[in-house]
Amino acid sequence: MTRLYLVRHGQTKWNLEFRAQGSKNIELTEKGKLQASLLAEKMNKYKIDCIYSSNLDRAYETALTLGEKVGIPVSKIDDLREMSFGDWEGLTMNEIQKTYESHYTVWRDQPHQAQIPGGETLVDVQKRALEAVHDIIKENEGKNIVIVSHGVAIKSILLGIMDIDLSNFYKISLDNTCINIIDFKDYGPVLVSLNDTSHLENIK
C-beta of residue 93 within 8 angstroms of C-beta of residue 123: no
Please give the model's pTM, rounded to 2 decimal places: 0.96
Active site residues: 9, 82
Per-residue pLDDT of the chain (204 residues; tens, 9 = 90+): 999 999 999 999 999 999 999 999 999 999 999 999 999 999 999 999 999 999 999 999 999 999 999 999 999 999 999 999 999 999 999 999 999 999 999 999 999 999 999 999 999 999 999 999 999 999 999 999 999 999 999 999 999 999 999 999 999 999 999 999 999 999 999 999 999 999 999 886
DSSP H/E element including 62: helix 57-70
Residue 152, CA distances (Å) to 86, 142, 200 in order: 14, 27, 21
Please report the pLDDT score of residue 193 as a whole number: 97
Query: Identity (one letter) of the amino acid at 64?
Result: L
**C-alpha–C-alpha distance, residues 7 and 53, integer Å:** 9
Please report the pLDDT score of residue 130 as a whole number: 98
